Amino acid sequence: LAKTTQPISMDSYEGQEVNITCSHNNIATNDYITWYQQFPSQGPRFIIQGYKTKVTNEVASLFIPADRKSSTLSLPRVSLSDTAVYYCLVGDRAGGFKTIFGAGTRLFVKA
């Protein structure tokens, strides 16, 4: 199983750029890296997904080095509303199509 490791929590201030790094040493060749955001009392919401190099959308950027053993979610100029838990997932195709969520990173944005 392709497991992920993320920091348990991070603090930031409004207007700063936040980078959350995820380690996934056992990523398989065909696996994608996906990030979700979860607010309290809500289901997770898809943020961004990538396979290699860099992906950018209107919400975030995802940086993936050549060896793909880690990835970094970058949130530009965070606001208070970005306070949430962020999950990094790596696709698990071993024996099925299970998707495994780790403990996530709790980001707290301060004014």
Nearer to other proteins, 81 or 95 (CB): 95
Q: How many CB atoms lie within 10 A of CB 75?
A: 23
Q: By CB under 8 A, tell whether 94 contacts other proteins.
A: no
DSSP secondary structure of 67-111:
T-SEEEEEESS--GGG-EEEEEEE---TTS--------EEEEEE-
Shortest reach from residue 109's CB to other proteins, in Å = 19
Shortest reach from residue 99's CB to other proteins, in Å = 5
- Residue of 19, 25, 53, 99 interacting with other proteins (CB under 8 A): 99
104 and 111 in contact (C-beta within 8 Å)? Answer: no
Q: By CB under 8 A, tell whether 9 contacts other proteins.
A: no
12 and 67 in contact (C-beta within 8 Å)? Answer: no
Nearer to other proteins, 32 or 63 (CB): 32
Residue type, 53: T
Residues 25-84 that bind other proteins (CB under 8 A): 28, 30-32, 34, 36, 41-46, 49
